[in-house]
Structure 1
Amino acid sequence: MCALLSSNLGYPRIGENREWKKALEAFWAGKLEEGEFTQQIEAIRLNNLRVQQQKGIDLIPVGDFSLYDHVLDTATMFGIVPKRFPYEGGEVPLSTYYAMARGSQGATACEMTKWFNTNYHYIVPELQDVQPQLTINKPLQAYREAKLQLGIQGKPVLLGLFTFLKLAKGYQPAEIDQLISAFLPLYVRIVTELEEEGVEWLQIDEPILVQSLSDADISRVSSIIATLTAAAPKLKIVLQTYFDAVEHYQAISQLPVHVIGLDFVHGFELNWKNIQTYGFPENKLLGVGLVDGRNIWQSDLQTQLEFLDHLSAIVPYERMLLQPSSSLLHVPVSKRKETKLAPVLRDALAFAEEKLAELTILSKATQHGQDFVQLELDMNQTVITKLNASSYRNKPEVQLAVANLQQQPSTRNSDFASRRSLQAAKWQLPFLPTTTIGSFPQTTEVRNARKNWRSGEWTPAQYEAFIQEQISEWILLQEKLGLDVLVHGEFERTDMVEFFGEKLDGFAFTSNGWVQSYGSRCVKPPVIFGDVSFVQEMTVKETKYAQSLTSKPVKGMLTGPITILNWSFVRSDITREQVAYQIALALRQEVEALEQAGIEMIQVDEPALREGLPLKKKDWQAYLDWAVLAFRLSTSTVKDGTQIHTHMCYCEFHDIIDAIRALDADVISIETSRSHGELIHSFEEHVYDQGIGLGVYDIHSPRVPSVTEMVEMIDRALQVLEPELFWINPDCGLKTRGKQETISALEVMVEAAKRIRASRSQLISL
């Protein structure tokens, strides 16, 4: 047999103990000078490469590391800096780079949105009126560092030109050919300089190829690739796709590159069908993405080896590269520290380091035969079988409830118009009611209190008293600010998904399973490994206490079933749809408990609804149907007078407006501060006639906007939305902001609402 070369596509940036995050935040806080910062970052970057080297990976990616985001890196490599930021040409300074990502007192940050259908956010390039230049050849720089420092002949990673342009904004579709003409010579320069340096392999990421593209787009991609390969004929170019199956397989497989990389996890069915139907070119290597780069479960190695055997009848082993399905950016670094998990679960996990080991096992099996790695294969089968057979995954009452889903209520008693009239009379809220999305600053004091409680230094009673002090303080602050609908602040919660997962059966939590969400923001997704069920009340105590302190309404705050699903690592033995229904039925019991406790405004957040959309539009409706049903299963048993709110972030509203309407929430709040004009334009084309709040300022930036800015934003929205249904709120929760900036921003927001109310009253009186 012949060994498959192993190739990695990308590695987590953050370090096993989030050293990367800590360095970034220390630098931003002025605690690290730039020189010391770059030294720390270099050490993290080199260690990431060293780990891959030690795991025996043949083709190690370089240049996938970033100081914030790889799309922002690509933009700044070409000098793409919006005019509102200081920049005089040449290599973009760190101060400008981070101002683009985070905003500054003088300029709003660039828009941030989801990287395809993952939980990672990228910074959206702005391409209006650009004259791109190559400020620095970052892939070449990364290659030189790896070779000099570690003796690694790395595989540079470059975000493909077509994907880069498709992910950008600020230009009309008809201008794309003009932009290709402007950028392509710079890409040519990059690849020629790499070839001149002696680089052997180059990975060009074009994940956009898994989406629905026109024939004209495929022609553009073909022209780009032909130009690059002609400019650097000695480079072995890997055209890499991931997250789904490629569209236009026949055309893409014939592109003049050395390797075509395909995802055989998330795009398995169609990619495999295409290869069986059309074959694979004999003059190319196939990048076989067989180890899941987006989930944390051990691969079924025996099944994968059987697949490789079938595949080898079409593509011989010597023409394969064995690799993850995508970059390992989306999984934690190592499970080494997960000693607190139940052995049956821990044994079945595979984080980035373990996934590299899986690649090595598969490669050895193809070279030496399965007997050579039989011990590893037997252990792999044992842990998978034990978890599937465990009581965690075999709860008859949960499975029966999902099987009989048609018997569960999933519609409100009355339509929105009837509910609106009843709720308006009940709540007597002012015109343009003000509220927040739910969380208030998680200060060092709050985090330390939680740490003290979890370590046993504080008793539960001490911790509860502290939480009540925080709630009391912020209820008083909200009343002083003049907010109309209050929240308790969520001081008892770490993460909006983790908090609920800790209180539901079927979830587990890692000690160190951090992944990057955006910038330095790292999250530790829950692990849904068993059947999900309700155990006891989760939010009633704190919410009821907050309501006892004020005569104003206090919203109950829950995270919705689809967001819990999409922001977790989900078991792979049953469908995601089935898991969503399990979560929904469990959350419904909490919604009912809040209502019974007298909390009759309840917010069930679904910020991740849209990001779960499949990458192919033909698959959208099926997903939206079951996602909407899951939300309604959670919220439909309440009385007509109980007002259901929901919230969504970074949402291309026009894509899913029908689904959002179908949720039948009484009020929805949507993040719009970085893309307000675009969303307002959507409302000009689509009618939305239920309660809505468009976020009027960006909570991800420390910048506090002016009253005038907020007034202008609200006025624009009121031109296309029903004023009587409009709410005013920040664009997201405030847990990451400082206390004083939060108060200052909310003061501005309330003042903006007052000004609009006053101006409208004057118009009415006239």
Structure 2
Amino acid sequence: MTTTIIGFPRLGEFRELKFETEKYFRNEIAADELQSFAKNLRKKHWQLVQEAGITEIPSNDFSFYDNTLDTAVLFNIIPKKVKDLAFDELEEYFALARGYQGAKGDVHALPMKKWFNTNYHYLVPQFEKTTTIQLNTTKIFDEFIEAKELGILTRPVILGPFTLLKLGQYHDGTSSQDFATQLLTVYQEVFTKLAALGAEWIQLDEPSLVLDLSQEDKALFINLYETLLANKAGLNVLLQTYFGDIRDIYGEVITLPFDGIGLDFIEGKESLALVTKTPFPAEKRLFAGVVNGKNIWKNNYITTLDLLAKLPKQTTLTTSCSLLHVPYSVENEVFPDTIKQHFAFAKEKLTELVDLDTCNQQALAENKQIFEQERIVPNKELQANIAHLNETDFVRLPAFSEREAQQTPLLNLPTLPTTTIGSFPQTKEVKLTRSKFKRGEITKETYDSFVAQKIDDCLAFQEEIGLDVLVHGEFERNDMVEFFGEALDGYVFSKNAWVQSYGTRGVKPPIIWGDISRSKPITVQWSTYAQSKTDKIVKGMLTGPVTILNWSFPREDITIQESTYQLALAIQEEVLDLEANGIRIIQIDEAALREKLPLRQTDWHTEYLDWAIPAFRLVHSKVQPETQIHTHMCYSEFEDIIQAIDDMDADVISFEASRSNLSLLDALNRNHFKTQVGPGVYDIHSPRIPSVEEIKDTINKVLAKIPTEKVWINPDCGLKTRGEKETYASLENLVQAAKQVRKELADD
């Protein structure tokens, strides 16, 4: 067999690309310096993959921000208002990704959504009536040439036309059909240019094929590829899918003249049945995703070799998806060997592919020994508690309307109450002080004094500008999941296991090692401290069990449902402690609720929602009626699960809405959503500062769809990644906008 991968992490071994790109954002380096750095980083990664023994290496999987954005820019799918501004190529690219506010104009960032069932985010291509699809950049060709000059003949990777059209948003009455012909012309041009440069293969990523496909979807896909594959310009074409199986269109796919077809055998429940029941064509290569590209546990070689024995002989071993979803290397960690031996990050997964390909006997024996060991001692008491949960444990009484009637006079908040989602900017000073404390360079007393002062300053600012419900700023927290994981039994933590979330933003998911329980309070100290410093209400801030699970690397030896219920019981204890200590509003964030939702709608309830929603209810089912429970969700498509979200039975839900044109509000109305809502009124993932008038306009759009008494005013997400200057200015404008709208409502 041969070996390959779908893509490699691009942030670098120690997030080098993040830091260099942010220097460019701060005007500390020029564009050519950033490009030079990126070229050297690509060289390092190609050579690493080659030296590991991988026989076929991809290119154009690198990106400064997002590969979907790269494809849109390559094909000139750029909003006219941005195209008309006097940006150079890199400025235009980052204006689309992050927004821009300066001498050259005012640009809102493109909408950002979750990439299928991952915590990675992509930028949504915008198709307009004026869009002219044509080659606009040379990135895909330049990177192929770079690798070729190093002596590495790569397989260029690009998002396929079907998924590009499916992920796009259409304006001015346009639809995907209006752009299909133009799009095929430029894909054909890409084929021709790559062939002329000496490429032998091209990889077209089509993850949308693993979704539920309508007859119209299937017709679109077939029409696109019958035309495109009619003239491959001498290239071999690999159709690459991931995150599931292609059961709806497998029969049609294998009859099209693809030279290779990539299937996911990790998340693709039906992939094995597909290739065995309807034999895979002998003239095509099967690219079998048998090494997990999304989790960090070592591959069980015996199980995988058993699978491979059932696959066609013309099989190339690959990963289930791009390795950008896992950290760089276990080599950079300080775990004891007893723990480290169970993990495989991106670099180690390359070795796994080679071991499986060569049937390395020593590696097979060592792998077998690892899987025969007893890894953890189960928590029998916890397992019994979960086994004895009954229906009443998941129900909060009294019903929502009765609770709302009690909470409203007690909280005594104004119309359109203002708040934030929780975190405030994590400055260099905050990060440095926390690092010093962790390294033992300062005492706990010194660190606590620092955190207390930051909280005091944060509260003072919020009171000064007139926010109604305050937060303590979360200066003691590194990450909304890692912070809780560190306080719970059952987790282990990496030092450098960073994974790209969006753009230059990396997260370091904690690892669920064993059974999870809470041995002491986690947030009570600083929540009660903050509440003691002000007469205004300060929200208690927690992360919900589904999000903690989804933003951790989960165990593979038990179900994610069981792990989530373990987390729910732990967070329930924290909720009750906060309530007992006088915290009257408690926000339990479920930012990642949608993330593990099965990609096929037929599986939504039985495989996820039927236990994920109850897991959230379990967390707050025992609180008193007077305690108001908030939750928050961000950067996902929620319209189709609105009823399930309402069933979470929170009192207030805040949503990301600023990059989605408030389309979510129509879904709320259609589903008679009972919960109070805080649609985000400005985008915190962009450095631009929204004006008072801009926020007022957004608020009025919200009020045109949602009853005034149901609406809260807040940013669309937490503020930890933003700078202080832009944060303070934006929040001041938010409060002023809310006050002006209140006055206008009162005058009416």
Q: What TM-score bracket applies, with the shorter chain setting the length?
A: over 0.9
Question: 2: CA distance between counterparts of 1:308 and 1:706?
Answer: 58
Q: Normalising by structure 1, report the TM-score.
A: 0.95
The answer to whether the aligner puts 1:423 opposite 2:404 as a matched pair is no
1:265, distance to aligned residue in structure 2 (A): 0.3
Match of 1:447 in 2: 431
Quote how far apart the aligned CAs of 1:136 are: 2.9
1:606 is aligned to 590
Match of residue 42, structure 1, among 9, 26, 39:
39
What residue number does 1:239 align with? 239
The aligned residue for residue 577 of structure 1 is: 561
Secondary structure, counterpart of 1:336 in structure 2: helix
Describe the superposition over 1:576-623 as per-residue Cα deviations: whole angstroms up to 9, x where unpaired: 111111111111000011011111210000011112211111111221
For the Cα contact (< 8 Å) 1:87–1:96, is it kept in 2?
no
Is 1:390 aligned with 2:376?
yes
Match of 2:537 in 1: 553
Answer yes or no: is 1:654 the counterpart of 2:639.
yes
Partner of 2:98: 102
Partner secondary structure for residue 407 of structure 2: helix
Where 2:308 maps in the other structure, the secondary structure is helix
**Residue 253 of structure 1 corresponds to which residue in structure 2?**
254
Query: By how many angstroms is 1:86 displaced?
Result: 4.5
Where do residues 107-126 of structure 1 align in structure 2 (5 Å cutoff)?
A: 107-126=107-126
What corresponds to 2:575 in structure 1? 591
CA drift at 1:374 = 2.1
CA contact (8 A) 1:225 1:257 kept: no
What SS does structure 2 have at the residue aligned with 1:424?
A: helix
Contact 1:192–1:231, Cα closer than 8 Å, also in 2: no
TM superposition shift of 1:175: 2.5
Percent of aligned pairs with the same amino acid: 45
- Tell me whether 1:157 sits opposite 2:157 in the alignment: yes
What is the distance in 2 between the residues matched to 1:440 and 1:693?
A: 18
- Aligned equivalents of 2:254, 2:84: Cα separation in 1: 41
Give distance in 1, aligned partners of 2:171 and 2:746.
Answer: 40
Alignment of 1:458-469 (within 5 A): 458-469=442-453
Contact 1:245 1:270 in 2 (8 A): yes
Answering whether residue 94 of structure 2 is matched by residue 77 of structure 1, we say no
| Corresponding residue to 1:738 among 723, 726, 732 | 723
| 1:83 positional shift | 2.3
State the match for 2:264 in structure 1: 263
Give, in angstroms, the shift of residue 429 of structure 1: 0.8
Contact 2:469 2:537 (C-alpha < 8 Å) held by counterparts: yes
Q: Distance in 2 between the 1:36 and 1:719 partners?
A: 48
Partner of 1:502 in structure 2? 486
| Structure 2 equivalent of residue 223 of structure 1 | 223
Structure-2 separation of matches of 1:138 and 1:222? 28
Decide which of 63, 66, 71 is 2:63's aligned counterpart: 66
Whether the 8 Å contact between 1:651 and 1:670 is mirrored in structure 2 is no
Q: Counterparts of 2:211 and 2:391 in 1: how far apart (Å)?
A: 37
Q: Matched residue of 1:491: which SS?
A: coil
Partners of 1:276 and 1:232 in 2: how far apart? 28
- Report the alpha carbon displacement of residue 84 of structure 1 after superposing the two structures with TM: 2.7
* 1:337 maps to amino acid: N
1:322 alignment partner, one of 314, 317, 320: 317
Q: How many corresponding residue pairs? A: 741
In structure 1, how many angstroms separate the alpha carbons of the residues matched to 2:587 and 2:452? Answer: 21
CA distance in 1, matches of 2:85, 2:529: 55
- The equivalent position to 2:441 in structure 1, one of 435, 457, 480, is 457
Amino acid at match of 2:376: S
Gap regions ≥5 residues in structure 2: none
Q: Is the 8 Å Cα contact of residues 128 and 174 (structure 2) preserved in structure 1? A: no
**Contact residue 161 and residue 184 of structure 1 kept, 8 A:** yes
Equivalent-residue separation in structure 2 for 1:541 and 1:440 (angstroms)? 18
The equivalent position to 1:331 in structure 2, one of 317, 326, 338, is 326
**Is the CA contact 2:170–2:176 (under 8 Å) kept in the aligned structure 1?**
no
Secondary structure of residue in 2 paired with 1:715: helix
**1:81–1:87 Cα contact (<8 Å) kept:** no
Task: Report the counterpart of residue 127 of structure 2 in structure 1.
Answer: 127
1:438 aligns with 2:422: yes
Q: Is the 8 A contact 1:52 1:356 kept in 2?
A: yes
Residue type of the alignment partner of 2:525: K
Given the alignment, which residue of 610, 613, 624 partners 1:625?
610
1:229 touches 1:235 (CA, 8 Å); kept in 2?
Answer: no
Distance in 2, Cα, partners of 1:587 & 1:262: 38
- Bigger Cα displacement from structure 2, 723-732 vs 682-691: 682-691
User: What amino acid is aligned across from residue 73 of structure 1 in structure 2?
Assistant: D
1:408 and 1:345 map into 2 onto residues whose CA distance is 39
2:420–2:715 contact (8 Å) kept in structure 1? yes
Residues 704-726 of structure 1 show CA distances to partners (whole Å, capped at 9, x for unaligned) of: 11111111111111122121121
Matches within 5 A, 1:651-730: 651-730=636-715
Question: 1-side partners of 2:689 and 2:478: how far apart?
Answer: 25
The Cα RMSD (Å) is 1.5
Query: In 1, Cα distance between the equivalents of 2:302 and 2:136?
Result: 48
- Point out the more displaced range, 737-746 or 412-421: 737-746
Could you tell me how far apart the structure 1 residues matched to 2:287 and 2:182 are? 30
**1:349-408 deviations in Å (ceiling 9; x for gaps):** 00000000000001102xxxxxxx22211211222333x4422xx111121122222266
Instruction: Please tell me the residue identity of whatever aligns with 2:267.
Output: H
Deviation at 1:213, TM superposition (A): 1.3
Q: Using the alignment, how far apart are the partners of 2:380 and 2:337 within structure 1?
A: 23
After the TM superposition, which segments of 4 or more aligned residues of structure 1 sit over 6 Å from their partners? Answer: none
Offset, 1:171 = 4.4
Structure 1 equivalent of residue 462 of structure 2: 478
CA separation of 1:172 and 1:33: change in aligned 2, threshold 3 A: closer
- List per-residue Cα deviations over 1:710-747 (Å, max 9, x = no partner): 11111111122121121111111111112222111111
Q: What is the aligned counterpart of 2:367 among 367, 372, 380?
A: 380
Matched, 1:294 2:278: no
> What SS class does the counterpart of residue 442 from structure 2 fall into?
coil
Could you list the per-position Cα deviations for residues 195-249 of structure 1 after superposition, in whole angstroms to 9, with x for gaps in the alignment? 2222111111111110111223223222322323222253111100000011221
1:671 shift after superposition: 0.9
Counterpart of 1:727 in 2: which secondary structure? coil
Cα pair distance change 1:507/1:441, threshold 3 Å: same
Distance in 1 separating the partners of 2:555 and 2:399: 36
Which shows bigger deviation, 539-548 or 593-602? 593-602
| Residue type of the alignment partner of 2:51 | Q
8 Å CA contact retained: 2:572, 2:620? yes
Counterpart of 2:15?
18
Q: Is the CA contact 1:7–1:321 (under 8 Å) kept in the aligned structure 2?
A: yes
Q: Residues 279-334 of structure 1: CA distance to partner in whole angstroms, max 9, x if unpaired?
A: 111221111100000000100011111111122xxx12xx1111001110100111
Distance (whole Å) between structure 1 residues aligned to residue 289 and residue 524 of structure 2: 45
Distance in 1, Cα, partners of 2:372 & 2:648: 38
- Taking the aligned partners of 1:136 and 1:692, their CA distance within structure 2 comes to 42
In structure 1, the gaps of 5 or more residues are 366-372
The separation in 1 between residues aligned to 2:158 and 2:350, in whole angstroms, is 21
Post-superposition shift, 1:344? 2.5
Q: Return closer, same or farther for 1:667/1:677 CA change in 2, 3 Å cut-off.
A: closer
The alignment status of 1:566 with 2:542, answered yes or no, reads no
Contact 2:499 2:506 in 1 (8 A): yes
